[in-house]
């Protein structure tokens, strides 16, 4: 009996007017889309009609962009996704939240609440926040070091998992006749004490519908890879070339296998910024229009910030200086800085050209072409061991998402590579992942109540 054909996964990564830094300047764009609930609702419904697995919101606890040149405000994602849960019924809802500037109890409660409100569609994109501005918003002079951020993140996820598990399945009885609301032998203190956190528990929200929200991770440094191999169920990643994508894919599957995990339950989703036209000429015209709207001073400042160099070191019409290539790893976004320097060296780009290449997706792969060409490049990576699906990052919104949904998704359906309708109701079911049981269940001493308060 033949095995079922492997299917693509698609996540819609939504960012106000679009991922291109100049998208808000297009004539048709809403420059105030970042706080317009109607805009977000329309995007979520476009993605759900196309049966995307999930939609995803990035976040950070500081103003990241220079508000002089680009929309910089952002609604808190778990709140926004709670509103979008009411406007949708099937699509997964993934929010970014930092382990560096949150506490496990509060964050575990927020994600459990989102999972309940949405009927089992919540996901958590786990990030360690790398910028100094965020640190200063929380009373610190500078960010913690790269390795320390990941050590805290690991402990954070361990605590959160225990909190989600602290109510076993079936703990709520609702026995009106007997006057018993819950079986207290199935509700557990976690009594966690580690280097960074001390948490008593249990959580004050019953077990989420999915058991635990889907865990997503987006770092590709060595520390990030180690963390993802242990905890992540989906990885949002950035690679510019097929060879780099294949290396990352094979490495992550190998690391997961080495930890005793089923590598098929770790989904690798590289980012792609598709600029789509009905003809190549139309697609390139849109790409050119966006690039012409880039403000060089803004792009230069963002590049210098990522590379952790003074802006004055960079000359728009010269390549990156040698000092950038010969120094140790940055303390911030290590994998992204490495990707950018590799791109600049491989293609011998000037700083101005590099800014143009980064304007669409901050280092994620951009592709300009017809729907068939976009589909072909996605399938090439999928077939050749570089991806289980893609994190779709439209350059302009809503037009780019609508173009992908209306013209690219049908191609994959005809090829038998993507669903024609949802077959599950939860985000875990969309990704083909099991619902985890509570870690407290095997050790529970039946009939012996455990104090929970």
Which of 57-61, 117-121, 287-291, 295-299 is the least confident region? 295-299
User: In the structure, what pLDDT confidence band is assigned to residue 326 with cuts at 50, 70 and 90?
Assistant: low
% of the chain exceeding 90 in pLDDT: 68
Query: Average pLDDT, stretch 399-412?
Result: 98
Distance CA 361, CA 393 (A): 7
Q: Residue 77: pLDDT above 80?
A: yes
Distance CA 353, CA 309 (A): 18
Q: Residue 59: pLDDT above 60?
A: yes
The C-alpha torsion from 154 through 157 and 163 to 165, rounded to 10°, is: -110
Total Cβ atoms within 10 A of residue 326: 7
Identify the pLDDT of residue 1: 38
Which tops the pLDDT comparison, 298 or 216? 216
**For helices 351-358 and 334-347, angle between their N-to-C axes, nearest 10 degrees:** 120
Identify the pLDDT of residue 71: 83
Q: Residue 10: pLDDT above 60?
A: yes
Identify the pLDDT of residue 320: 79
Distance CA 344, CA 327 (A): 16
Identify the pLDDT of residue 334: 63
pLDDT tens, residue by residue, 232-246: 999 999 888 999 999
Enter the pTM of the model: 0.89
**Highest mean pLDDT pick, 213-222, 249-258, 288-297:** 249-258
DSSP H or E segment with residue 113: helix 104-118
Q: Residue 120: pLDDT above 60?
A: yes
Which tops the pLDDT comparison, 433 or 306? 433
**Alpha helices for 295-387 (secondary structure H):** 296-307, 322-325, 334-347, 351-358, 371-383
% of the chain exceeding 70 in pLDDT: 92
User: In the structure, what pLDDT confidence band is assigned to residue 373 with cuts at 50, 70 and 90?
Assistant: very high
Query: 398: exposed, middle or buried (C-beta count within 10 Å: 0-12, 13-18, 19+)?
Result: buried
| Domains, the chain | 9-168+189-280+365-430 (3.20.20.30), 295-358 (no CATH)
- Mark 399-413 as b/e (b = at least 16 C-beta within 10 Å): bbbbbbbebbbebbe
User: In the structure, what pLDDT confidence band is assigned to residue 2 with cuts at 50, 70 and 90?
Assistant: very low
pLDDT tens, residue by residue, 254-274: 999 999 999 999 999 999 999
426 Ramachandran zone, left/alpha/beta (phi>0; psi -120 to 50): beta
DSSP H or E segment with residue 123: strand 122-127
User: In the structure, what pLDDT confidence band is assigned to residue 453 with cuts at 50, 70 and 90?
Assistant: low
């Amino acid at each position: 009996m033949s095995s079922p054909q492997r299917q693509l996964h698609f996540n819609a990564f939504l960012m106000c007017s679009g991922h291109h830094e100049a998208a808000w300047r297009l004539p048709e764009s809403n420059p105030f889309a970042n706080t317009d609930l109607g805009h977000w609702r329309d995007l979520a419904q476009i993605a759900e009609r196309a049966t995307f697995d999930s939609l995803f919101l990035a976040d950070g606890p500081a103003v990241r962009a220079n508000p002089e040149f680009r929309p910089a405000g952002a609604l808190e994602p778990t709140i926004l996704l709670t509103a979008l849960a009411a406007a949708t019924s099937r699509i997964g809802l993934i929010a970014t939240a930092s382990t560096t500037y949150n506490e496990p109890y509060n964050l575990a409660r927020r994600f459990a609440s989102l999972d309940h409100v949405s009927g089992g569609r919540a996901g958590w994109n786990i990030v360690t926040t790398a910028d100094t501005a965020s640190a200063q918003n929380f009373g610190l002079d500078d960010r913690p070091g790269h390795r320390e951020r990941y050590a805290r993140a690991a402990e954070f996820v361990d605590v959160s998992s225990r909190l989600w598990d602290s109510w076993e399945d079936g703990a709520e009885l609702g026995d009106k006749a007997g006057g018993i609301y819950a079986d207290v032998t199935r509700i557990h203190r976690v009594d966690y004490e580690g280097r960074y956190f001390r948490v008593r528990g249990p959580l004050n929200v019953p077990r989420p519908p999915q058991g635990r929200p889907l865990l997503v991770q987006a770092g590709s440094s060595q520390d990030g890879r180690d963390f993802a191999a242990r905890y992540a169920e989906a990885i949002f990643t950035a690679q510019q070339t097929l060879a780099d994508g294949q290396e990352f894919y094979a490495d992550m599957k190998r690391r997961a296998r080495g930890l005793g995990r089923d590598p098929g339950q770790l989904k690798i989703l590289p980012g792609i910024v598709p600029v789509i036209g009905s003809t190549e000429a139309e697609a390139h015209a849109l790409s050119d229009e966006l690039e012409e709207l880039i403000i060089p001073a803004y792009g230069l400042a963002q590049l210098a910030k990522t590379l952790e160099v003074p802006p004055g070191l960079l000359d728009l019409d010269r390549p990156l200086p040698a000092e950038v290539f010969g120094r140790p790893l940055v303390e911030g976004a290590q994998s992204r800085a490495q990707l950018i320097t590799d791109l600049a060296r491989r293609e011998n780009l000037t700083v101005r050209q590099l800014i143009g290449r980064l304007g669409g997706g901050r280092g994620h792969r951009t592709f300009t072409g017809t729907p068939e060409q976009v589909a072909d490049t996605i399938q090439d990576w999928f077939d050749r061991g570089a991806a289980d699906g893609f994190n779709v990052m439209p350059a302009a919104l809503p037009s780019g998402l609508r173009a992908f949904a209306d013209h690219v998704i049908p191609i994959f359906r005809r090829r038998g590579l993507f669903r024609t309708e949802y077959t599950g109701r939860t985000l875990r079911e969309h990704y083909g992942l099991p619902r985890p049981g509570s870690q407290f269940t095997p050790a529970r001493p039946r009939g012996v109540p455990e104090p929970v308060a």
